[in-house]
Amino acid sequence: MPPSDHRGPWARLPLPTRILIGLTTGLVLGLITNLFFSEAAWLDPFIQYVTYPIGQIFLRLIFMIVIPLIFAALTLGAAELGDLKKLGRIGIKTFAFALAVTVISVTIGITLVNVLQPGRGIDPEAREELIQTLVSPDARRSVEQADEARRTNIVDTLLNIIPRNPIEDAARAFDGSYRGGGLLAVMFFSLLFGVALATVDRKKTEGLVAAIEGLYGVVMKIIGFAMRLAPYGVAALLFSVAARLGFDIIVVLAKYVGVVLLGLALHQFGVYSILVRVFARMSPITFFRKIREIMIVAFSTSSSNATLPTALRVTEERLGVPREISGFVLTLGSTGNQNGTALFEGVTVLFLAQFFGVSLGVPEQIQVVLMSILAGIGTAGVPGGSLPLIVLVLQSVGVPGEGIGVILGVDRLLDMCRTTVNVTGDVAAAAYVARSEGYELDTVIEPEEAEEALTI
């Protein structure tokens, strides 16, 4: 007999449901407040002393683990990908495929934001009120300082990726006046450290690898703690935003969601179709029908890691990818081939820059592309795993990290969609590697597969 669940009704609800309730509650109450009490004397103190602190507690839990998350995730990811002697041809092909496809995905996202401009159109006075609501005085000063600090040419931007002192770059990563590489330099150091770690005799580095894995586990646990507060943080943040902007925020968020979904759809059904046809020599229609179960699980769980068992089984049984290839490529891809997340991060950073009136020139947009690519490697394959990395990309280009509160309410839907793109990319990579190694893929739709595709 299973043990009884003594938790209350609220605690028994799935976290996504609680976040959705928080989103709805904060948005509705904020809109009502904007309609009937926008001039009330109590509104500003209520936001300043109640909703602002609640939202900040949630956001700061995310902020404080950015640096350790970046180091641990990228170091471990690079350590797995960097041992070229062990990985051989398959490792090189997997890494090259992931890198190339991620570059394509981020380029699609950046292009759509520049063309469609989803963050434009907010009244300047309303924007200033929003900044006063969400962003702390220290963060506002950092943004102002960053306007001058970021006026560098492309050559300096690229050179600053290689840190003179990675400790200094980590310590001053959120200092808007700092002219070094900052977070991008920290990411470069972490990647290089991981590659070097993989080339050293494993016996000599077992303790170090175990320590970094332990650090990664602790950081993920802290993210879990933060996500437990997400329903309350989202409610407080959405109330503050909606009370200030009213129905304008709904229009802007709808534009943002539309751009992200358009970019993900183009990548999922456009880019992957071409790649599967050219490199795996397989009909895209057949490919998508065979992996339909994987996409459904990815969409419903919002987790590449949770989808991994299903992906391994379906890729081997229905696509005919050998176990040694599918196990290697899909396992690494669950954390190292997050091109849907990279697209989402690029779109989000540029959207919030437009939303807050921060002008990003060519050097800054190149920096966003590079950091989104690297963040795609270091993103945890769990729900909400990309949020800390978006904060660091925002901070690096002078956009208030607290601005992420604007999009938190709609992140769940986008998380489901980008996870589907991520996992599809992993399977496409496995199919490409298997075909390039001389294996024949299963391109025949069996009757049970066709029936299942219609009923799922």
Indicate the average pLDDT of the chain: 76
Give the residue among 244, 245, 261 at the shortest CA–CA distance from 116: 261
Predicted confidence at residue 155, as pLDDT, reads 65
- Centre a 10 Å sphere on the Cβ of residue 455 and count the other Cβ atoms it contains: 6
Cβ pair 107, 270 in contact under 8 A: no
The answer, yes or no, to whether residue 149 has pLDDT greater than 60, is: no
pLDDT in tens, 300-325: 666 676 677 778 788 888 888 887 77
pTM for the whole thing? 0.64
Predicted confidence at residue 455, as pLDDT, reads 44
pLDDT in tens, 288-300: 998 888 888 788 6
92, two tokens? 């090189």
C-alpha 268/C-alpha 428 separation (Å) is 11
Helices (H), 291-361: 292-301, 304-317, 323-336, 339-355
Cβ pair 34, 245 in contact under 8 A: yes
Looking at the chain, the whole-number percentage of residues with pLDDT higher than 70 is 72
C-alpha 321/C-alpha 365 separation (Å) is 38
Does residue 242 sit in helix, strand or coil?
Answer: helix
Most confident of the following: 180-184, 279-283, 333-337, 408-412: 279-283
Most confident of the following: 103-107, 301-305, 440-444: 103-107
Per-residue pLDDT band at 21 (split at 50, 70, 90): confident
Looking at the chain, the whole-number percentage of residues with pLDDT higher than 90 is 9
Predicted confidence at residue 305, as pLDDT, reads 64
10: exposed, middle or buried (Cβ count in 10 Å: 0-12, 13-18, 19+) = exposed
DSSP state for residue 439 in the 8-state scheme: P
Which residue reads 């009370």 in tokens?
243
Cβ pair 116, 259 in contact under 8 A: yes
Which helix (H) or strand (E) segment is 448 a member of? helix 447-455
The answer, yes or no, to whether residue 447 has pLDDT greater than 80, is: no
Q: Which residue has the higher pLDDT, 136 or 42?
A: 42
Most confident of the following: 245-259, 321-335, 425-439: 425-439
Give the residue among 136, 142, 181, 176 at the shortest CA–CA distance from 162: 181
- Can you spell out the DSSP letters for 264-300? HHHIIIIIHHHHHHHHS---HHHHHHHTHHHHHHHHH
CA distances (Å), 316 to each of 52, 330, 434, in order? Answer: 50, 11, 11
Instruction: Count the helices and strands in the chain (H runs, E runs).
Output: 24, 0
Helices 52-63, 230-245: axis angle to 10 degrees equals 130
Which residue reads 């993900």 in tokens?
264
Predicted confidence at residue 261, as pLDDT, reads 94
The answer, yes or no, to whether residue 83 has pLDDT greater than 60, is: no
List the domain boundaries for the chain: 14-455
The answer, yes or no, to whether residue 409 has pLDDT greater than 50, is: yes
C-alpha 392/C-alpha 371 separation (Å) is 9
Predicted confidence at residue 274, as pLDDT, reads 95
C-alpha 278/C-alpha 372 separation (Å) is 26
The answer, yes or no, to whether residue 262 has pLDDT greater than 90, is: yes
Predicted confidence at residue 148, as pLDDT, reads 46
The answer, yes or no, to whether residue 108 has pLDDT greater than 90, is: yes
Output Rg (C-alpha) for the chain, integer angstroms: 22
C-alpha 301/C-alpha 318 separation (Å) is 22
Per-residue pLDDT band at 335 (split at 50, 70, 90): low
Give the residue among 14, 26, 64 at the shortest CA–CA distance from 234: 26
CA distances (Å), 28 to each of 100, 137, 235, 396, 403, in order? Answer: 43, 28, 10, 33, 20
Cβ pair 252, 121 in contact under 8 A: yes
Most confident of the following: 140-154, 219-233, 342-356, 390-404: 342-356
Predicted confidence at residue 145, as pLDDT, reads 46
Give the residue among 174, 175, 172 at the shortest CA–CA distance from 62: 174
Per-residue pLDDT band at 277 (split at 50, 70, 90): very high
Cβ pair 426, 378 in contact under 8 A: no
Per-residue pLDDT band at 424 (split at 50, 70, 90): very high
C-alpha 387/C-alpha 263 separation (Å) is 19
Which residue reads 């938790």 in tokens?
7
Per-residue pLDDT band at 95 (split at 50, 70, 90): confident
Q: What is the mean pLDDT of residues 56-71?
A: 75
Which residue reads 């945890």 in tokens?
380
Q: For the ranges 10-14, 135-139, 175-179, 206-210, which has the lowest average pLDDT? A: 135-139
- Centre a 10 Å sphere on the Cβ of residue 265 and count the other Cβ atoms it contains: 12
Sign of the alpha-carbon dihedral angle for 102, 109, 305, 384:
positive
Q: Which residues contact 343 (CB under 8 A, 6 or more apart)?
A: 105, 106, 108, 109, 260, 263, 264, 267, 372, 418, 421
Q: Which CATH architecture has domain 14-455?
A: Orthogonal Bundle (1.10)
